[in-house]
């Protein structure tokens, strides 16, 4: 059972409360309160998911997020008190997979965490092609001309979702539901930011995308293979 | 009878409106439009010139200088030319006078001498005549020889004797001597002079007539016969001199005028250039380039203007920077407060939820406490969220993320979300006008928040009756109106519902947990879109909130596709009933009321009918408050029913409230309106004029 969660939060009361809730749901939480120590704690704990507060003493959450993302694709969920577009987008661009705005309900948080963890539990032997990319779904790898491209699990899911139905145009709401596991349309900024990040990794020219194509006014679809 | 009373009624409001609108010009005679068309056609090519004239002070000053200096030069020229001419003529006259006097005395002396020597014996008349003739010839020749070209001499007989032919020198035509002068000379004894044109007989010389001074005197010849002797002094020389002076003056004047114009242009440019620079810099300052400054040289007035201008810009920049700093601090503060409040709130929230989850294990009091705790944390949360949203608007930090959205989808989502509440309240939310897409450039999140607020409000205050959400699109605007049939709004409340923390009735128990900020936020959202959020309501007759948004974000709103006062308002129903009653009364004069009762299509209860038929009775039209929030395009609409509000809350309301069942209203909503189009801008104006 995978359920190690690293909580990076300086507010001890909140961290403790998060621990109570997470333990109650069967996760194994570990804690770190300082941004400078977050990376070391991450390496020690090897968590399956990171809950990261954006405002931290020492190194701030954005920086910590970048560092973790630099060496791992582990899902990162940001805890933010600011719902302003700029804050959210900056957080997502630094590598977070999802965000949750304070104050949140415990159930909501658990649902998000489960949605991020669920993905790795369903391996299906499947080979997909999108553009000139070859995706091995079970092996969790993307290759172009034999060269493998490193993607985070979320980016991989996004690419797979598009590649499975190359004839379909996905609205942002549908992608939110399929990839992030949201029931209700929440925030399409998530999709926009992650599509940009996916493009920066898989496209030859991110300015002229060929793999993930924008359909104006509707959403995104897989490029012709 | 009916027609007789309606005719003047129809005329009066029309005239009144025309006076109010100040459109009396439309009643101008038939020639008016044609004249205006001609003027417009004439003006069109001149428009750029006129604009340049209006906008360019340099051009105006130069033109004024040219005109004025031309006037001065012309005046000066006339004076100078007059002086020169007078001088010339005076000198000429003096010279001519002395010349002529000398000539006359010579002629007189000669005549006296000849007559004394030649004797005046019994010579034959023939020889005498011949002698006189030759004497005169001699005389004229002698006199004229004094100045050939300078003057000519003419001798004429005073009495018309053919024997004594006139003598002339220099080929002067005899008709040159004006008859007036001749009469004076013949009648008088002294010298007479005049100016006249002198003609010449010898056409071969092609001499043109020329102006001359003519001096004449009556003299006696050798025979003591009177004759007239004239001296003709041509003024050619003087005229030439005068022309030369004129030409010189004209040339000089032209130069002066042109030079003055050029000088004016240069001088004005010296003053205007800094002014234009200041205007340009002021414009750039106002667009936000706060570092722009004027170039200051010297210490003159222009330099002082520049210094003052720069000082002003400096101060402005300082103040703006201070305000920006304040705004930034405010936003920062809000953001910090948000974070600082939200983190502990999250902990409280989670703790409360954990306690709430296991409330079955507690005793009833603790269990209920846990429920209350969770409920109030919910309320606290939404209050905090709304406060932060409002402060974001106040700090000007709200940004619009507009994209084309179909309002029908937003409405569907909002109604789905409000369904549980509506179910609890026992009302149904219906949608009208959603046959076609209603697309506008808007921020979906904000529009959804606004509509959610309106729909939830309508359901909450709808007292279990239906809520109708109406969509409309026309012109450059889209609109969503949420109509409920609940307690409605008292007069004046339609303006206050948008105030922060406003409550319809402070004493009333709060059943649902609104924050009191919902409509304030909605108004700010509408304003951010460049749209309107307006409320209408009547006591006991429900209310309608109308959101109007421009179809594209940068398009100004001119009107709304949906009238603010719904068609099934009491006022409109009374008017509709009156119109129908009027019609049926004309068809079947005596059975107007039974006919209406028999058809049963009108939702007006019989008790109200007699009052409703009388359009002149204002108490039949219950009051309605309407308000324009963001702008005021339809002031007349709000103003027209207002005076009636006081009386509208009279006895008529009891019966109207009694009739407020959804069934009757639905008939009214769906049709049978007196030819009114629901989705047109004019319907609102029509409604307001009808109300008058």
pLDDT at B479: 92
Cβ burial of B31 (10 Å; 0-12, 13-18, 19+) is: exposed
Q: What is the pLDDT of residues A90-144, one digit of tens each?
A: 888 888 888 888 888 888 888 888 888 876 555 566 778 787 888 888 777 888 8
pLDDT band at B646 (very low <50, low <70, confident <90, very high): very low
Residues B476, B557 contacting (CB under 8 angstroms):
yes
Chosen for mutation from A25, A103, A105 (greatest number of chain B CBs closer than 10 Å) is A103
pLDDT at B450: 92
Alpha-helical regions (H) of B56-124: 57-118
Tell me the chain A residues in contact with residue B351 when contact means C-beta distances shorter than 8 Å. Answer: 17
Number of other CB atoms surrounding residue B554 within 10 Å? 8
Domain boundary among A59, A90, A120: A120
- Indicate the range of A161-170, A186-195, B10-19, B129-138 predicted with least confidence: B10-19
Partner residue facing A103 (CB), from B346, B399, B404 = B346
Q: A200 and A211 share a domain?
A: yes
- Indicate the range of A138-152, B96-110, B273-287, B655-669 predicted with least confidence: B655-669
pLDDT band at B603 (very low <50, low <70, confident <90, very high): very low
CA of A225 vs chain B CAs: smallest distance (Å): 31
Higher pLDDT, B440 or B669: B440
Rounded-to-integer distance, Cα B624 and Cα B536, Å: 7
Encoded tokens for B87:
């001088």
Residues B374, B356 contacting (CB under 8 angstroms):
yes
Q: What does residue B220 show for φ and ψ, rounded to 5 degrees? A: -110, 140
CA of A209 vs chain B CAs: smallest distance (Å): 22
Chain B CA closest to residue A79: B343
pLDDT at B12: 44
Contact (CB<8Å) B354/A24: yes
Q: What is the pLDDT of residues B328-347, one digit of tens each?
A: 887 778 767 777 888 888 89
Cβ burial of B297 (10 Å; 0-12, 13-18, 19+) is: exposed
pLDDT band at B460 (very low <50, low <70, confident <90, very high): confident
- Mean pLDDT confidence for A159-164: 85
Phi-psi group of B170: left, alpha or beta (phi > 0 → left; psi -120 to 50 → alpha; rest → beta): left
Q: Is the pLDDT of residue B33 over 50?
A: yes
Contact (CB<8Å) B344/A13: yes
Rounded-to-integer distance, Cα B289 and Cα B285, Å: 5
Parallel, antiparallel, or unpaired: how do β-strands B532-538 and B467-474 relate? unpaired
CA of A79 vs chain B CAs: smallest distance (Å): 10
Rounded-to-integer distance, Cα B116 and Cα B98, Å: 27
Chosen for mutation from A52, A80, A81 (greatest number of chain B CBs closer than 10 Å) is A81
Rounded-to-integer distance, Cα A60 and Cα A193, Å: 20
Tell me the chain A residues in contact with residue B347 when contact means C-beta distances shorter than 8 Å. Answer: 11, 13-14, 17
Contact (CB<8Å) B354/A81: no
Long-range contacts for B684-690 (Cβ within 8 Å, ≥24 apart)? B684/B559, B684/B560, B684/B563, B684/B564, B684/B565, B684/B634, B684/B637, B685/B634, B685/B636, B685/B637, B687/B563, B687/B565, B687/B572, B687/B637, B688/B634, B688/B636, B688/B637, B688/B640, B689/B13, B689/B17, B689/B636, B690/B575
Q: By three-state DSSP, how is residue B224 classified? A: coil
pLDDT at B639: 37
Contact (CB<8Å) B350/A106: yes
Tell me the chain A residues in contact with residue B348 when contact means C-beta distances shorter than 8 Å. Answer: 103
Rounded-to-integer distance, Cα B183 and Cα B273, Å: 72
Q: What is the pLDDT of residues A35-59, one digit of tens each?
A: 888 889 999 988 999 999 887 777 7
Chain A CA closest to residue B400: A85
Q: Is the pLDDT of residue B555 over 70?
A: yes
Q: Report the C-alpha dihedral over residues B306, B307, B310, B312, rounded to 10 degrees.
A: -110
Ranges of CATH 1.10.287.130 domains, chain B:
307-398
**Diameter of chain A by CA atoms?**
52
Contact (CB<8Å) B335/A217: no
Please indicate if any CB of chain A lies within 8 Å of the CB of B354.
yes
CA angle (B118 as vertex; B117, B119 as ends), nearest 5: 90
Partner residue facing B346 (CB), from A20, A85, A102 = A102
Residues A56, A35 contacting (CB under 8 angstroms):
yes
Q: A68 and A175 share a domain?
A: no
Please indicate if any CB of chain A lies within 8 Å of the CB of B210.
no
Chain A CA closest to residue B384: A103
pLDDT at B565: 86
Q: What does residue B7 show for φ and ψ, rounded to 5 degrees? A: -60, -55
Encoded tokens for B350:
């989670």
Tell me the chain B residues in contact with residue A24 when contact means C-beta distances shorter than 8 Å. Answer: 354
Q: Is the pLDDT of residue A7 over 80?
A: yes
Number of other CB atoms surrounding residue A12 within 10 Å? 11
pLDDT at A28: 92
The distance in angstroms from the start CA to the end CA of chain A is 38
Q: A127 and A164 share a domain?
A: yes
Contact (CB<8Å) A103/B335: no
Chain A CA closest to residue B350: A106
Whole-Å CA distances, B593 to A89, B35, B374, B590, B657? 68, 54, 59, 8, 21
Q: Residues of B numbered 306-345 whose beta carbons fall under 8 angstroms of chain A's beta carbons: which are they?
A: 335, 338-339, 342-345
The distance in angstroms from the start CA to the end CA of chain B is 22
Q: A18 and A115 share a domain?
A: yes
Whole-Å CA distances, B527 to A15, B268, B374, B479? 41, 47, 34, 14
Please indicate if any CB of chain B lies within 8 Å of the CB of A81.
yes
Q: Total domain count for chain A?
A: 2
pLDDT at A27: 92
Q: What percent of chain B has pLDDT over 90?
A: 12
Q: A11 and A116 share a domain?
A: yes
Rounded-to-integer distance, Cα B555 and Cα B227, Å: 102
Residues B200, B172 contacting (CB under 8 angstroms):
yes
Q: What is the pLDDT of residues B142-181, one digit of tens each?
A: 777 766 667 888 887 766 555 566 777 777 777 778 888 8
Rounded-to-integer distance, Cα A183 and Cα A180, Å: 9
Q: A158 and A59 share a domain?
A: no
Q: Report the C-alpha dihedral over residues B150, B151, B152, B153, rounded to 10 degrees.
A: -140
Chain B CA closest to residue A10: B343
What's the whole-number average pLDDT of chain A? Answer: 83
Q: CATH topology for B307-398?
A: Helix Hairpins (1.10.287)
Q: A153 and A200 share a domain?
A: yes
pLDDT band at B547 (very low <50, low <70, confident <90, very high): very high
Contact (CB<8Å) B344/A84: no
pLDDT band at B481 (very low <50, low <70, confident <90, very high): very high
Q: A81 and A186 share a domain?
A: no
For residue A95, the domain's CATH number is: 3.40.50.2300
Tell me the chain B residues in contact with residue A19 when contact means C-beta distances shorter than 8 Å. Answer: none
Rounded-to-integer distance, Cα A168 and Cα B43, Å: 61
Contact (CB<8Å) A105/B349: yes
Q: What percent of chain B has pLDDT over 70?
A: 72
Q: A112 and A215 share a domain?
A: no
pLDDT band at B634 (very low <50, low <70, confident <90, very high): very low
Residues A130, A162 contacting (CB under 8 angstroms):
yes
- Mean pLDDT confidence for B190-206: 76
Chain B CA closest to residue A15: B347
Q: Provide CB contacts within 8 A for A117, sequence distance 6+.
A: A2, A3, A48, A49, A75
Domain boundary among A120, A141, A161: A120
pLDDT at B585: 62
Tell me the chain B residues in contact with residue A105 when contact means C-beta distances shorter than 8 Å. Answer: 349-350, 353
Contact (CB<8Å) A104/B399: no
Q: Is the pLDDT of residue A33 over 50?
A: yes
Q: A115 and A131 share a domain?
A: no
Contact (CB<8Å) B349/A85: no
Ranges of CATH 3.30.450.20 domains, chain B:
42-118+126-289
HSE-up of residue B644 (Cα within 13 Å, Cβ side): 23
* Interface A:B, Cβ pairs < 8 A: 56
Contact (CB<8Å) B381/A105: no
Q: A25 and A108 share a domain?
A: yes
pLDDT at B675: 36
Rounded-to-integer distance, Cα A127 and Cα A117, Å: 22
CA of A9 vs chain B CAs: smallest distance (Å): 10
Q: A136 and A32 share a domain?
A: no
Q: What is the pLDDT of residues B373-388, one digit of tens each?
A: 998 898 888 888 888 8
Parallel, antiparallel, or unpaired: how do β-strands A170-171 and A219-222 relate? antiparallel
Rounded-to-integer distance, Cα B526 and Cα B530, Å: 6
- Mean pLDDT confidence for B439-450: 88
- Mean pLDDT confidence for B497-521: 72
For residue A164, the domain's CATH number is: 1.10.10.10
Give the residue numbers spanning the domain of A52.
4-120
Q: Residues of B numbered 390-409 whose beta carbons fall under 8 angstroms of chain A's beta carbons: which are they?
A: 397, 399, 401, 404
Tell me the chain B residues in contact with residue A17 when contact means C-beta distances shorter than 8 Å. Answer: 346-347, 350-351, 354
pLDDT band at B201 (very low <50, low <70, confident <90, very high): confident
Please indicate if any CB of chain A lies within 8 Å of the CB of B376.
no
Higher pLDDT, A201 or B546: B546
Rounded-to-integer distance, Cα B312 and Cα B290, Å: 11
- Mean pLDDT confidence for B205-212: 74
The CATH number of B42-118+126-289 is 3.30.450.20
User: Which range in B224-233, B372-381, B512-521, B576-585 is most confidently predicted, on average pLDDT?
Assistant: B372-381
Rounded-to-integer distance, Cα B418 and Cα B398, Å: 26
- Indicate the range of B117-126, B432-441, B510-519, B616-625 predicted with least confidence: B616-625
Phi-psi group of B484: left, alpha or beta (phi > 0 → left; psi -120 to 50 → alpha; rest → beta): beta
Contact (CB<8Å) A102/B351: no
Contact (CB<8Å) A82/B345: no
Encoded tokens for B389:
């949203």
Domain boundary among A101, A120, A139: A120
What's the whole-number average pLDDT of chain B? Answer: 74
Tell me the chain A residues in contact with residue B375 when contact means C-beta distances shorter than 8 Å. Answer: none
């Amino acid at each position: 059972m995978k359920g190690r969660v690293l909580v990076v939060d300086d507010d001890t009361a909140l961290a403790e409360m998060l621990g109570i809730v997470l333990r109650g749901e069967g996760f194994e939480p570990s804690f770190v309160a300082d941004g400078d120590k977050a990376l070391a704690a991450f390496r020690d704990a090897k968590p399956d998911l990171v809950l990261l507060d954006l405002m931290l003493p020492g190194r701030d959450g954005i920086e910590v997020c970048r560092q973790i993302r630099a060496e791992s694709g582990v899902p990162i969920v940001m805890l933010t008190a600011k719902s302003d577009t700029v804050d959210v987008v900056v957080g997502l661009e630094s590598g977070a997979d999802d965000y949750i705005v304070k104050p949140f309900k415990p159930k909501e948080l658990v649902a998000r965490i489960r949605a991020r963890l669920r993905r790795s539990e369903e391996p299906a032997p499947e080979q997909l092609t999108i553009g000139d990319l070859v995706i091995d779904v079970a092996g969790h790898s993307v290759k172009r001309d034999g060269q493998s491209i490193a993607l985070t699990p979320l980016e991989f899911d996004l690419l797979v979702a598009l590649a499975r139905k190359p004839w379909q145009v996905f609205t942002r709401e549908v992608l939110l539901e399929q990839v992030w596991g949201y029931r209700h349309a929440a925030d399409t900024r998530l999709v926009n930011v992650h599509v940009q990040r996916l493009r920066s990794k898989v496209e030859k020219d991110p300015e002229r995308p060929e793999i993930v194509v924008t359909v104006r006014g509707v959403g995104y679809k897989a490029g012709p293979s | 009878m009916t027609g007789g009373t309606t005719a003047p009624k129809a005329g009066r409001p029309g005239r009144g409106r025309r006076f109010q609108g100040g459109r009396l010009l439309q009643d101008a005679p038939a020639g008016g439009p044609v004249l205006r068309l001609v003027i417009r056609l004439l003006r069109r090519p001149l428009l750029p010139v006129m604009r340049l004239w209006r906008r360019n002070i340099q051009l105006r000053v130069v033109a004024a200088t040219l005109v004025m200096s031309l006037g001065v030069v012309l005046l000066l020229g006339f004076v100078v030319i007059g002086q020169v001419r007078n001088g010339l003529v005076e000198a000429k006259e003096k010279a001519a006078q002395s010349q002529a006097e000398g000539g006359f005395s010579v002629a007189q002396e000669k005549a006296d001498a000849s007559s004394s020597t030649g004797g005046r014996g019994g010579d034959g008349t023939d020889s005498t005549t011949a002698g006189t003739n030759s004497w005169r010839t001699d005389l004229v020749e002698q006199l004229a020889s004094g100045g050939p070209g300078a003057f000519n001499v003419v001798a004429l007989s005073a009495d018309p004797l053919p024997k004594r032919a006139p003598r002339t020198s220099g080929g002067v035509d005899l008709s040159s001597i004006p008859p007036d002068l001749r009469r004076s000379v013949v009648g008088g004894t002294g010298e007479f002079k005049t100016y006249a044109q002198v003609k010449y007989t010898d056409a071969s010389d092609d001499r043109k007539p020329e102006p001359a001074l003519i001096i004449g005197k009556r003299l006696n010849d050798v025979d003591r016969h009177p004759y007239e002797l004239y001296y003709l002094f041509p003024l050619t020389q003087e005229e030439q001199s005068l022309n030369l002076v004129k030409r010189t003056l004209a040339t000089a004047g032209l130069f002066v005028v042109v030079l003055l114009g050029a000088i004016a242009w240069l001088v004005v440019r010296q003053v205007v250039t800094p002014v234009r620079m200041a205007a340009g810099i002021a414009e750039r300052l106002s667009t936000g380039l706060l570092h722009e400054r004027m170039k200051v040289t010297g210490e003159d007035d222009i330099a002082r203007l520049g210094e003052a201008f720069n000082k002003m810009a400096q101060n402005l920049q300082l103040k703006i920077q201070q305000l920006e700093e304040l705004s930034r601090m405010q936003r920062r503060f809000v953001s910090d407060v948000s974070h600082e409040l939200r983190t502990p709130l999250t902990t409280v929230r989670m703790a409360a939820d954990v306690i709430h989850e296991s409330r079955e294990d507690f005793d009833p009091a603790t269990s209920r406490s846990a429920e209350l705790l969770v409920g109030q944390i919910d309320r606290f949360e939404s209050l905090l969220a709304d406060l932060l949203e409002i402060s974001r608007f106040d700090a000007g930090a709200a940004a619009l993320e507009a994209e084309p959205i179909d309002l029908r989808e937003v409405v569907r989502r909002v109604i789905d979300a409000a369904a549980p509440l509506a179910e609890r309240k026992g009302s149904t939310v219906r949608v009208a006008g959603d046959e076609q897409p209603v697309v506008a450039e808007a921020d979906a999140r904000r529009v959804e928040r606004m509509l959610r607020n309106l729909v939830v409000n309508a359901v909450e205050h709808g007292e279990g009756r239906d809520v109708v959400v109406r969509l409309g699109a026309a012109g450059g605007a889209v609109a969503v109106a949420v109509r409920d049939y609940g307690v409605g709004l008292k007069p004046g409340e339609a303006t206050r519902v948008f105030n922060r923390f406003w409550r319809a009735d402070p004493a009333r128990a709060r059943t649902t947990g609104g924050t009191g900020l919902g409509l304030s936020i909605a108004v700010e959202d509408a304003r951010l879109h460049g749209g309107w959020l307006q409320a209408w309501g009547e006591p006991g007759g429900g209310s309608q909130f109308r959101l109007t948004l421009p179809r594209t974000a940068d398009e100004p709103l001119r009107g709304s596709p949906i009238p603010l006062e719904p068609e099934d308002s009491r006022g409109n129903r009374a008017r509709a009933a009156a119109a129908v009653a009027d019609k049926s009364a004309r068809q079947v004069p005596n059975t107007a009321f039974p006919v209406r009762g028999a058809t049963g299509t009108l939702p007006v209860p019989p008790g109200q009918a007699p009052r409703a038929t009388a359009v002149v009775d204002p108490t039949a039209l219950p009051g309605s408050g309407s308000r324009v929030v963001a702008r005021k395009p339809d002031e007349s609409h709000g103003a027209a029913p207002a005076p009636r509000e006081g009386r509208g809350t009279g006895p008529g309301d009891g019966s109207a409230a009694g009739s407020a069942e959804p069934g009757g209203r639905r008939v009214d909503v769906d049709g049978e309106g007196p030819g009114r189009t629901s989705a047109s801008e004019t319907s609102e104006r029509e409604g307001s004029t009808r109300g008058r």
